[in-house]
Amino acid sequence: MKKRLLAVVLCVALAGMVTGCNGGAEGKTEEKEKVEQDGTKEPEGGAELSAAFVTVQPLGDPTIDLCYKGFTEAVEEFGFGKTTVVEAKAGEYEENFRALCEEGYGLIIANMPELQEAVGRVAPDYPDTKFMIALGEAKGDNVISTWNKEQYGTYITGVFAGLMTKTDKVAFLGGVDNDQLGRVGGGFVDGVKASNPDCKVEVMFVGDFSDPTKGKQMAQLLYDEGCDIIFQAAAQSGKGVFECAKEMGEGHNIIGIDVDQNGDLPGQVYGSFVTPYDKWVYEAMEEFAKGEFEGRVIYRSVKEGTTLKMAEDYVEIPKEVSDAVDEATEKIISGEIEPADTLK
């Protein structure tokens, strides 16, 4: 009886608050907008630049850290006054973007394709807020979308791996079986076949981007099967691969992903497939700071630096191999080769 009464009272109170707050909130947001108007509309003239960094995978993930690096560099370089980092989990993307817009952030950097849909829904409602999606696409004049055609860069990586392997067996360990990793893996497999047709490529998926225990298990399995190079594209789970290679010692090698991981295990990392996310974020923030922000879709590929970075400082790379890599790079850039963009 008491509980029922309480519940009814609460609902009535809630209803009252909604109507009451409606009036109050409008006043509040109006005030906020007025204060932020000067900050967001005209970035020059010493007014405050503000930017928000929204991500799904938390900081600590090497890819996100790279994006964040670009973010912090731009913040320092161009003097962004108000910044924040938001980690959004499933189901709250749209809400977070709306809240950030209402709080008056001028530029919102969204990382990874999970967020693209939410940006697409929110951007039209807030034409003065600029968005940059660091891997994804959404429509709007106030949105910069970027896409990465990984398969070209990973083709070159495959060429490299096919030539560096001593057991004619390499492996691709992806995080989750989805489209993006299909591109990464598809290009890799083609590249290996092109440079070393006898080499076998094992493909496995950890099933999770944040289970290093499983990553280590799978790496163990692959090394035991005879693979001497694992191209790991599994974010945090990939750290388990490093653990395994460290334990098993020489002869068990890795190719890193997204960031330059060549120094993480010197001598055992032959190279990394690098994507200069930090540059992309930096460039977008630069445009915004200079008032030249233009909403468009950008396709990035090998030319802009999304390619293999060989670990020359740590590993002896024979000349034939680096020549082959250069040749493959040229062919890709000229458009002569079109690697597969899926693993099927």
Partner 1 sequence: MINSFIITVLRLSAPILLCAIGSLFCDRAGVTNISLEGMMLISSFTAVLGSFITGSWLAGLLAAICASVLASLFFALITIRFGGAELVVGFTMNVLLDGLSVFLLRSIFKVSGSFVSEKIVKIPSFSVPLIKNIPVLGGLVTELNILVCAAYGSVFLAYFIFRKTHLGLQIIASGENPQAAATVGINVYKIRLLMLVITGGLCGMAGAQLSLGYLSMFTEGMTAGRGFIALVAVMFARGSAFRVLLVTMLFGAAEMLSNYLQLYQFSSYLILMIPYICVIALTIIQLIFERKKKIIK
Partner 2 sequence: MNFDFRQQPIKISSAVLAVFLGLLIGAGFILCTGNNPITVYGFMFEGAFGSTASVASTLRWTTPLLYAGLAAAIAFRGGMFNFGIEGQLYVGAFSAAIAGVYFKGMPGVIHILLCFAAAMAAGCLWGVVPALIRVKLGGNEAIPAMMMNYVAMYLCDYLTQTFFLPEDTFGQTMATELIADHTKLPKIIPPYTVTYGFVIAVILVILAHFGLKYTKAGFQISMTGMNSEFSRYGGIDVNKIRFRAMLLSGMTAGLCGAVEVMGITWRYESGFSPDFGIEGILSSLLGGNEPFGLLLGALFMGAMKAGSLVVERSAEVPRALAEVIKAFIICFVSARYLSACMGLDRIADKVRSVICRQTKEGGGRAHDQ
Between 98 and 279, CB nearer to partner 2:
98
Residue 114 binds partner 1, judged by CB under 8 A: no
Cβ contacts of residue 130 below 8 Å, gap of 6+? Answer: 106, 107, 108, 142, 143, 144, 288, 293, 295
| Binding at 249: pick from partner 1, partner 2, none (beta carbon under 5-8 Å per type) | none
Is 262:269 a contact under the CB 8 Å cutoff?
A: yes
CA dist., res. 290 & res. 254, Å (int):
41
Token digits of residue 12:
């009535």
In 3-state terms, what secondary structure has residue 124?
helix
Q: Which of 103, 211, 260, 304: binder of partner 1 (CB under 8 A)? A: 211
Task: Please report how close the Cβ of residue 335 comes to partner 2 at its closest, in angstroms.
Answer: 20
Residues in contact with partner 2 by CB under 8 A are 2-4, 6-7, 10-11, 14, 17-18, 21-22, 24-26, 28-29, 84, 86-87, 89-92, 94-96, 98-100, 102-103, 112-114, 116, 125, 135-137, 147, 176-180
Cβ neighbourhood burial of 125 (10 Å; 0-12, 13-18, 19+) = exposed
**Among positions 44, 76, 224, 313, the unique one binding partner 1 when judged by CB under 8 A:** 224
- Partner from partner 1, partner 2, none binding residue 221, C-beta < 5-8 Å depending on class: partner 1
DSSP annotation string for 16-38: HHHHHHHHHHHHHHHHHHHHHHH
CA triple 240-304-260, angle to 5 deg? 25
Site string for partner 1, 232-251 (x = CB under 8 A): ----x--xx--x--------
66 burial type by CB count under 10 A (0-12 exposed, 13-18 middle, 19+ buried): buried
3-state secondary structure of 151: helix
Q: Which is nearer to partner 1, 225 or 327 (CB)?
A: 225
> Residue 92 binds what, of partner 2, partner 1, none (CB under 5 to 8 Å, by partner type)?
partner 2
Q: Which stretch binds partner 1 (CB under 8 A): 53-61, 144-152, 253-261, 310-318?
A: 53-61
Q: Which option in partner 1, partner 2, none does residue 240 bind, with CB closer than 5 to 8 A by kind?
A: partner 1
Candidates 275, 259, 281; CA nearest to 110 is: 281
Q: How far is the CB of 223 from partner 1 (least distance, A)?
A: 9
Q: How far apart, in whole angstroms, are the C-alpha atoms of residue 75 and residue 64?
A: 16
Site residues (CB under 8 A) for partner 1? 57-61, 87, 177, 202, 204-205, 207-208, 210-214, 216-218, 220-221, 224-225, 236, 239-240, 243
